[in-house]
A and B are shown apart, each in its own frame.
Chain A
Amino acid sequence: MLRLVAKLLKVLNSESDPSQISLAFCLAMVLGLTPFYSLHNILVLFLVLILRANLSAFILGWAFFSGVAYLLDPLFDRLGLWILTSAALQGLWTSLYNTTIFRLEKFYNSVVMGSLFFSIVLFIPLYIVSNIGIRRYRDHVLAWIEKTRVMKLLKASKLYHAYQTISGLRGAS
């Protein structure tokens, strides 16, 4: 656990472009919130690898959002069922239901539809918010934190030791 938190701090404090970290978080959200064995997750994996998304942030985000998914599954189920049974969209769903690619995607499952809709809607806002957040963290919070007593105490703690170990390993490699 300490190592995971240390890794997160390492990523945030690194020189990586905030947009790479934010993109990784957003793609991790899609992979983590939606059922793993879904067709769209192949596309997510492809995008993570081909775009310059931060892989450490992606893996951390995936672990985080997978945990959140367990809590939000009942919400996804209701949301998905509401979307799938909405009268205005019946024509669209019926046509998609009759295509092989969308059947493979299993969009007609309430949890798949609910979680995918939820993560797509939040994709851009999360990207923007985390971009801003990382920049602000680096510009203001990091410098301020460095000076605080808490940080000084933290530097003497096991957590910081773990952080340093990882930084050291990275530096060595």
Chain B
Amino acid sequence: MKRFIRLKGLAAFVIIVAVFGAFWFFFADTIVKNLIQKYGTRAVGAKVEVAAADLSLFPMGLKLDQLRVTDPESPMKNAVEIGRISLGLEPLNLLRRKVIVKEMIADGVQFGTPRKTSGAIAVKKIPGKTAEVGKAGKEKGGGPLAVKGPCGTVSLPSLQVPDVGKILQTEKLQSLALLQPLQKDIQSEKAKWQDALAKLPDKKQFDAYRAKIDKLKSAQKGGISGLLGSVSEVSTLQKDIQRDLDKIKTAQKDFSNKTASLKARLAEAKKAPLEDVARLKQKYSLSPAGLQHLSQSLLGSRLCRLVQKGAAWYQKLEPMIERARKTEKGHEVIKPTRGKGVDVRFKEYEPLPDFLIRTAKARIMLQAGDISGLIKNITPDQDVLGRPLTYTFTGTKLKGLQSIDLHGALDHVIPASAKDTGNLTLKGYQVKDMALSGSEAFPILLDSALVDLNMDALLKGSDINATLTSGFDSVKLSGGSAEKESPIKAALLSSLAAISRFHVKADIKGTLKNYTIDLTSDLDQAFAKAAGRAVSDQAVGFEKKLKEGVMAKVGGPLQATGKDMGGLNAIGQELTGRLNLGNGLLGNLKDIGGKGGLKLPF
């Protein structure tokens, strides 16, 4: 027996196991803390920190102190900071490699807390790809202010009188684009017809014919012999003149065709300056109709950024409610979060997800007071559990907020028809000093208001459909001094003081990556009423200046083109003149022959 068994080996095995056990006992807390920080940071894309972790065996559980999740968009802020988290684990399920948290309590949840050091992490740059940063554009040359946002370009109409000189320096005029080639074409056509005219029978030729006719007339008076001789000459002369006239007629027909298209182009070019004026006016001037959508331009980009932030966080957290999976020979295989290979799932007699937090209770600390929350069934395997994640957050009698209620469900029980819903209701929210519009061109500050807000959101697959309605009461708005401002801006700023209540409704539709926000508000009517007259006056003045500016640029080339066209018309007149000459000569020949033909004396 001793030949095969090494009894000292048993002692060595016990020692090795004991060393591993002791290592785990003493370093488990640090290992867990480091694992949470490592994988949390990787998932969020910014530093995730835990001050301390405490893993206990009896009862099995984990406590975390000061969990800080950096906001990746703003690394000097924490997106979430949780004072203390305690998790109660089910030990038997842990042996089956299932992390089942019976109850999780998150105490002291805060959002947007400042950080002492940056929570940014080094990100590998993808060649050829640059980060898109939403920046408010600057107003140039009185043109529209463009705010590049995730919902496309939100343009603010110009509230200043646009500078016509700058506009005409940058804008291409359609009228000039038409005139320059037209002038060239007319000149080349003119040269071509001047050559053609030289080759056609001219006045000199017709004078020669006239001389012959005169000669025939005198021969007619010379008796019978002269008369007989002139009959054949008249016939020959008649044919010659007719042949020349045919040449001129053909040329005239060709000329008419060619010049007709040039004339049409000239007529179009003459209209073009007015069309340019209309186009530029439309682009740069604020029309009364433009005021109808001012609230969309002012408030839309702000709301759009909020939705974008929400969508980005949803996409980050999505793996927590539904993990990537595929099937192999009808079996579901799941890519493990770490390690190699794939995990194949088999039917469980008592199905349980690999990770589940049955109940999570949270106390969220806001400036207004505390909000309590309850989340149930947090798992990436809802299809295994058969129940969706539900959440409820409520708070009443808070400081500056009568009540808040947020509830909904993230239903991924059938992953192919995932449906997430959410409803947020705020009542009696006292707003103070809130920037309603961050636009530099037209900043609006909500000094104070009492807000009721309701938002219903539905996310089906990746299609989002949300409606936000809000009522602002006891409103005090300000937008800075109206002095030294344009009449429109001054009128709009003055109108802010008269607004005591307004409503905003927003419909968000599309997909998470490509959505549109349709925002309407009765603010538009108030703006239109206040600034409508000023807008009309500005538009009239701007149009007048635009006309003068465009004509100053286009007038010269237009006049020159007209002059060239006049030259071409002279060629047409010349052709007509030659045709008349020839026709006159033919008439004279007929006189020699008389009405019935050539008169014979017998």
Contacts and interface: CB of A to CB of B under 8 A. Distances in A.
Interface string A82-120: 001100001001100110100110101111101000000
A50 B9 contact: yes
Contact of A52 (B4, B13, B95): B4
B9 A85 contact: no
Contact of B341 (A46, A51, A52, A114): A114
A45 to B, nearest CB: 7
Contact of B331 (A84, A104, A109, A112): A84
Main secondary structure of the interface of B (DSSP, over half): loop
Interface stretch (A72-80, A121-129, A140-148): A72-80
A77 B346 contact: no
Contacts of A93: 344, 346
B483 interface: no
Interface centre among A46, A106, A108, A111 (most CB of B within 10 A): A108
Interface string B332-358: 010010011111111111100000000
B16 interface: yes
B595 interface: no
A94 B6 CA distance: 38
A111 B342 CA distance: 7
B5 interface: yes
Contacts of B6: 49-52
Interface residues of B, number: 33
A46 B20 CA distance: 14
Interface residues of A, number: 31
Contacts of A59: none
B97 interface: yes
Contacts of B348: 97-98
Interface in B421-439: none
Main secondary structure of the interface of A (DSSP, over half): helix
A49 B9 contact: yes
A104 B95 contact: yes
Contacts of A97: 346-348
A19 B349 CA distance: 44
B254 interface: no
Given A51-B4, A52-B5, A81-B333, A111 B340 contact: yes
B343 A109 contact: yes
B97 A106 contact: yes
A132 to B, nearest CB: 20
B346 A94 contact: yes
Contacts of A52: 3-6
B195 interface: no
Given A45-B16, A52-B3, A108 B9 contact: no
Contacts of A114: 341
Contacts of B12: 49
Nearest to B9: A49
A85 B330 CA distance: 8
Interface string A31-64: 0000100000010011011111000000000000
Contacts of A85: 328-331, 344
A112 B341 contact: yes
Contacts of A45: 13, 16
B341 A109 contact: yes
A110 B16 contact: no
B221 interface: no
Contacts of A84: 331, 344
Contacts of B129: none
B96 interface: yes
B588 to A, nearest CB: 108
B340 A81 contact: no
A49 B4 CA distance: 11
A42 B17 CA distance: 9
B10 interface: yes
Interface string B12-27: 1100110000000000
A108 B13 contact: no
B163 to A, nearest CB: 67
Nearest to A17: B3
Contacts of B344: 81, 84-85, 93, 108-110
Contacts of B13: 45-46, 49-50
Contacts of A110: 333, 341-344
A22 to B, nearest CB: 14
Nearest to A106: B97
A85 B96 CA distance: 21
A109 B344 CA distance: 6
Interface string B80-111: 00000000000010011110000000000000
A81 B328 contact: yes
B538 to A, nearest CB: 71
Given A77-B340, A94-B347, A109-B344, 6 more contacts: A77-B341, A84-B344, A85-B328, A103-B98, A104-B97, A112-B341
Q: Which 10 A-B pairs have CB atoms at the shortest separation, nearest pair first?
A: A111-B341, A49-B9, A110-B341, A97-B346, A85-B329, A103-B96, A84-B344, A50-B9, A94-B346, A49-B13
Interface of A: 35, 42, 45-46, 48-52, 73, 76-77, 80-81, 84-85, 90, 93-94, 97-98, 100, 103-104, 106, 108-112, 114
14 contacts: A49-B16, A50-B6, A50-B9, A50-B10, A51-B9, A52-B3, A81-B328, A98-B348, A100-B95, A106-B97, A106-B343, A108-B346, A109-B342, A110-B344
